[in-house]
């Protein structure tokens, strides 16, 4: 299973490394140390935590008002395989993206929960809301 440094986790969660470090210090997400002493977060734990943060909000950062770009780096939070098709969910900061693709593509990419991936979006119609 892939593990992530505090800095990598912060980027995937869309927060500062200091915020991710405070969450780890508070026990909100479990960490372990590698042979070099770096704190790491297991990919599955980070996937679960990213969904929790996105659903409940962090309570620490202000909401940004921006039009999202086309590339969404994040962490795979679910993979559902059918006989021919598959569904992959990625949590990219506060954004949950779901992609329908072939099972073959998922297997070739080796996608599994907890690994880092980027969702790329192409659309002919883009809607922008401001709350």
Predicted confidence band of residue 63 (pLDDT cuts 50, 70, 90): very low
- Scan for tokens 């990419």, then name that residue: 109
Residue 111 pLDDT > 50, yes or no?
Answer: yes
Diameter over CA atoms, the chain: 49
3-state secondary structure of 106: helix
CA distances from 88 to 11, 52, 128 (A): 20, 18, 24
111: Cβ contacts below 8 Å, ≥ 6 apart: 76, 79, 88, 117
Predicted confidence band of residue 57 (pLDDT cuts 50, 70, 90): low
The chain-wide mean pLDDT, for the chain, equals 86
Predicted confidence band of residue 55 (pLDDT cuts 50, 70, 90): confident
- How far is CA 39 from its chain centroid? 18
Identify the DSSP state of 29: S
Q: State the pTM of this model.
A: 0.59
């Amino acid at each position: 299973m892939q593990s992530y440094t505090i800095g990598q986790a912060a980027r995937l969660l869309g927060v500062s490394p200091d915020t991710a470090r405070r969450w780890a210090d508070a026990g909100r997400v479990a960490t372990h140390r590698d042979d070099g002493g770096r704190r790491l977060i297991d990919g599955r734990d980070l996937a679960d935590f990213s969904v929790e943060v996105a659903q409940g909000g962090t309570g620490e950062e202000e909401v940004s008002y921006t039009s999202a770009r086309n590339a969404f780096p994040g962490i795979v939070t679910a993979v559902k395989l059918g006989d021919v098709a598959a569904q992959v969910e990625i949590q990219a900061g506060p954004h949950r993206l779901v992609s329908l693709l072939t099972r073959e593509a998922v297997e070739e990419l080796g996608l599994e929960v907890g690994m880092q991936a980027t969702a790329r979006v192409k659309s002919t119609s883009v809607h922008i809301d401001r709350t």
